[in-house]
Amino acid sequence: MKDERRMVQDPGEGVVTSAAEVRALAGGLARQARETYAGLARRMRELGNAGTAAAFEEIGAIAASHHPPSDAALAEDAPPIFNHENMGASRLTTPYEAYALAVRNSEHAFAYWTRISAHAKDREIAAEAERSAMIEMDHMQELRAGRRRAFHEGRRTPLPPSAALRVAKPAESRIELADCEAALADLHQRIADRLAGIRNPWAQILAEIADEERRNAQNYGPPSETAPLHEPLPEEGSALLTRAAERTEAAVEYYFRTAEESHDEELVGVAQFLASEGVGRLARLRDV
């Protein structure tokens, strides 16, 4: 099934022409989120899956707490960001899968707002879009916490382990954050080189991502002298891209947990910045 969100990942200049239109668009997307999750909750109850129905109801409540309904004008043609991914077709859908869907949708929404802000020529439009992006970032943090809870309750593995990224151990120093970016840069460069060898057009994108991560590692480090671990890589192109996205997802989770658990204001700011950067890259990698 084609994911229509791909068509709105780069909205470009001129999508909105005023701050009021940004607010109307935000309201339209908020309504879309509430309706999507309410519909999935109803469908799960029809299928007799009360646990996942409750998860979708919780997700809808989280969305409503960050985007409460209002009497303001709503955009009627909001892009299809909050996708159900045909999840209502199976009664075997788990609460973890419900939260994972909501996290993916939130990542797409965050990337959408950041792109509108980046393309905006008007400062008020850029500021309003950035405000929506930050609201979505807070929303995403709550959803990720719910996903972790569902994972532990369901005893499922959300991501392959990565010793190089040390996902399960929260960092308390900028050097550890820099090490994480350096490990990602090393991995993504190796994947880019492998993709270039098989003439895969995504090689250039992975190389650009690796460059961005190297710059972050230097800006927030320098990283430690420890050489990153070189995990074996698959041979096939789609498997390489999946690996790149999985490790980026793991890093984003690591940054969010660092921001949640640290009491150091500067470290929290760095971790939140790296998380937002990672979410943008993750949206690019998932558009494969």
Domains and CATH numbers, the chain: 4-154 (1.20.1260.10), 174-286 (1.20.1260.10)
CB 197 within 8 A of CB 242: no
pTM (2 d.p.) = 0.63
Q: What is the pLDDT of residue 167?
A: 36
CB 209 within 8 A of CB 281: yes
How far is residue 52's CA from residue 43's CA, in Å, rounded to a whole number? 10
Which is nearest to 100 in space by CA: 42, 59, 62? 59
pLDDT beyond 90 at 192: yes
CB 81 within 8 A of CB 8: yes
Least confident of 45-59, 126-140, 144-158: 144-158
Choose from 29-33, 117-121, 157-161, 246-250 the range with maximum mean pLDDT.
29-33
How far is residue 129's CA from residue 34's CA, in Å, rounded to a whole number? 20
Q: What is the pLDDT of residue 90?
A: 73
Q: What is the pLDDT of residue 153?
A: 76
For the chain, state the CA radius of gyration. Answer: 19
| Distance linking the first and last C-alpha atoms of the chain | 13
